[in-house]
Amino acid sequence: MTEQALFILASLALGELHGYGIARDVEELSGGRVRLTAGTLYGALNRLTADGLVTQSREDVVAGRRRRYYRLTAAGQTALADETARLRSLATALGSRSGVRPNRKPRLA
């Protein structure tokens, strides 16, 4: 799963949002590290929808512009939980080596 997709799922975990709301939340959640352009955001939402992880919940017109709202599906909630657990496990495994000084010389190829 891409980092953008993971942040989109995490953003929708709190409830439905429209595209711009997702982009703002992802930027805030990632500490500004992930910034979604319209093309990246809607491309990812289309893929997540096709995969059954996200669904378009409704559509409004605000100031003459169409605003689509998205929400997580049950499969999306499961995928978010699974990916979070996978990353947590990975971080734990790597963290056990963080700051450890090797006692052996590296092998040269």
Q: Residue 58 is encoded by which pair of tokens? A: 């409704």
Quick one: pLDDT band at residue 101, thresholds 50, 70, 90?
low
With residue 17 as reference, give the H or E element that holds it.
strand 17-18
In terms of pLDDT, which residue wins out, 52 or 59? 52
Cα separation, 97 vs 95, whole angstroms: 5
Report d(CA 8, CA 76) in Å as an integer: 10
Domain positions in the chain: 3-84
Q: Considering only 7-11, 78-82, 91-95, which range has the smallest mean pLDDT?
A: 91-95
Residues 6+ apart with CB under 8 A from 8: 22, 26, 36, 41, 44, 45, 48, 54
What pLDDT, on the 0 to 100 scale, is given for residue 100?
Answer: 65
Q: Among residues 29, 91, 82, 21, which one has the least CA distance to residue 53?
A: 82
Domain 3-84, second-level architecture = Orthogonal Bundle (1.10)
